[in-house]
Amino acid sequence: MKLILHSLAGILLLFLPNIVAAQSLAVSPTKLEVPTGASQTSLTVKADGGGAAVLQMRVMSWREGQDPNKLKPTRDVVVSPPVAKLKPRQELTVRIVRTKKRAVRRRECYRVLVDRLPDRRTNGQVVKLQVRHSLPLCFSS
């Protein structure tokens, strides 16, 4: 019985790359703390997997200590570039800048969303997942 199960598992593994398109995304650092007086920071994003990766990056307003899914759009902080296409295992340094004119009072927090969008070119029976990183970003006064 074990031999049959192991044989079936082996056969399944042969066909698995055609069923699931593995995509991953590495982000560093995972928490962004901008020191007093500074208005910018950077983030490194690395795409892993077999194909090119299309990334979308945004900054959303967020209150520290609240649910990280409770976000509001903002223009107080921007990310550059907001969209990028990376080759497999390529790294990208993303710049994050606070554009708000008023000085930081106490502590201002945001979330940086980095999405790896599903590849639209794949056909057939492939599982397509969107990979998202949501990173805390805080400016101190």
pLDDT in tens, 102-115: 999 889 999 999 99
Give dist(CA 135, CA 59) in Å, integer. Answer: 9
Set out the domains of the chain in order of their start, with CATH numbers. Answer: 21-140 (2.60.40.10)
pLDDT of residue 123: 59
- Tell me the mean pLDDT in the region 100-127: 82
18-28 per-position pLDDT tens digit:
334 456 789 99
**Count of other CB atoms within 10 angstroms of residue 35:** 8
Q: What is the pTM of this model?
A: 0.77
**pLDDT surpassing 70 at residue 139:** yes
Chain centre to alpha carbon of residue 57: 7
pLDDT of residue 73: 96
pLDDT of residue 141: 84
40-54 per-position pLDDT tens digit:
999 999 988 777 889
Specify the 3-state DSSP secondary structure of 18. helix
